[in-house]
Amino acid sequence: MKLRSYIIPFALAITGMVSFTGCQKGDLIDNPNVAGASAVVPVPLLLNALTANLIRSSELPWGSSAIAEQYVISNYAYYRGSNSYNFGNTTDSYDILKYALKLQQQSIAQQGNQTNKYYALSQFFKAYSGIWLTQRVGDIPFSQAGDPTNLTPKYDTQHDVYKSALAMLDNANTLLGNLIATTPALANTVLDSNDIFGFTYLQWQKVINTYRLRVLISLSKRATDNADLQIPQQFATIISTPAKYPIMVANSDNLVYKFTSVTKYSIFSLNYNPYNNYANIGNTYLNITTANQDPRTYLSATPAPAQLVGGKTVSDFTAYVGADINQSQAALLLASNAGAPINSQGAYSFANFNRYYSSSTGANAEPFVFIGYPELCFNMAEAINRGWISGNAATWYNNGITASFGVYGLTNGQSITIGDLAGKTLGTVTVNIPQFLANANVVISADPATQLKQILTQKYIAMFNNSGWESFYTYLRTGVPTLAQGGAGIGTPNSLIPRRWMYPAAEAVYNTANFNSAVSSQFGGSDDPTKDMWMYK
């Protein structure tokens, strides 16, 4: 977690590290292919590294986050990994932090001020790196992290990490806003072509502020007992001051990871069918979509073979059956009949092969939205429900559903071809959006508690294979939806979903005193994944 000695410049990172062991004084010589710690590193290259590495592999479609969120369930570890929630020690986000700190340093050195666009984005990435890690473990080294003179940085409390990060996000927005105010044409000008997202100055503002709203809503359990954080007030200020704090207004503002022939959609997009054979769609997800007659069911899943053999049609929502993560993988494999040859009586639904497995660039899949407008709509609805802002929760709730349909490209009356797990056509269905919207489970309730559950449930559905770990964090905060647990498939000692990751193993070795102090103050002396962090207590 800590930064061992110094911030590794971008040029060093891309050329590799030179290992020196057992050296005598005078043994070291300058390597002309490696930049020194004081070298000038072009800020566009640093920005490229940050944007290219912002999203972790576990957060991509069909990754481990999708399993933890029970969108997809592996029935065979060899092909699709484990379903176990025995997370163990977390990875860290300090690679993002080190580049953010280097971007901050180099932007000052090269631009001569702390008001330039690169400095502004360095504040966003610094905040992001701290929030990414504190959400996983609790207290972390943050304010002192990256100081080359301090190899044992103190742990900041989770409260203080969020306080600092929220201030950084506010500063990032203000700096970009000031640049736009000075030169209005910048609003619609691409900030830097090395940014893989290709965002304009205004779009970066929207991402920063929309992300800040996500962070604020994630702190809902601490909204009334931490007055210094001003959680509801910050949320309200952003919404009531749109000229200063622009937020996303449509799917065109979404932060979307674009897959290419080099950065492929996933390893499961190689047209190698066994990858689809050995994973099923989770019943936590399908139990909701099928009960609601949600047309997104048809895009994400195949009908369960046994249901078709039993006489059901591809348009029958009850023909789509999800797998239970509580079961062992051996039981799941047996029930799904995913071996070779494949048994036509398989009990569970698989992923839509034609949509997700037929293109290495994800050309047929919905865009991978990492921070997006649909989520914003549901966060707005939740904030209204909680009394943080005024407005109509039902309007924002329906806007979120509509925006999610837009991500999928779903329109009423649309014809969708249904295939089996290998892509063989089974029939067609017609999208009926009014039927879905009129479903009693979907029509928003006047009861505040029921309404909140509906908002959070539809947010979960909208994040299918999107938004990284955000659905899992929302579950830890709210308990919605009710993720399955208690069975052998969960993999933890108590068969329950953990409440956090353990700290990186190296931290106990290299920053022992501060690590022990943090574990003692938070969790009674044990790095216990079953205990809640400050933000969830």
- Say what the pLDDT of residue 28 is: 44
pLDDT of residue 8: 35
Prior bond of 9 cis (ω within 30°): no
CA distance 286 to 283: 5
| Tokens representing residue 333 in the block | 């494999």
Residue with tokens 């407005």: 391
Q: Is 146 left (phi over 0), alpha (psi -120 to 50) or beta?
A: left
Q: Is the peptide bond before 341 cis (omega within 30 degrees of 0)?
A: yes
Tokens of 304: 């369960």
482-510 burial code (b ≥16 CB/10 A, e <16): ebbbeeebbbeeeeebbebbbbbeebeee
Amino acid at 188: N
Give, for 389, the enclosing helix (H) or strand (E).
Answer: none
- Smallest CA-to-CA distance from 342 within 424, 425, 422 is with 422
Sign of CA dihedral 60, 65, 69, 73: positive
Q: What is the pTM of this model?
A: 0.93
Residue 301's DSSP bridge partners are: 351
Block mean pLDDT (10 aa), the chain, length 537? 34 32 41 67 97 95 96 94 96 95 97 98 98 98 92 97 98 98 98 97 98 98 96 98 98 96 80 81 98 98 94 98 97 79 75 91 95 98 98 98 98 97 95 98 98 98 97 98 98 98 95 98 98 97
- DSSP-derived secondary structure letter, 140: B
Cα 129 from Cα 98, distance rounded (Å): 9
pLDDT confidence of residue 337: 79
Q: How far is CA 342 from CA 278, 303, 314, 339, 353, in A?
A: 11, 15, 19, 5, 15
Element (H, E) at 335: helix 329-336
pLDDT at 18: 28
Ordered structural domains, the chain, with CATH: 1-20+34-53+92-247+506-537 (1.25.40.390), 272-481 (1.20.120.840)
pLDDT for the residue 344 = 58
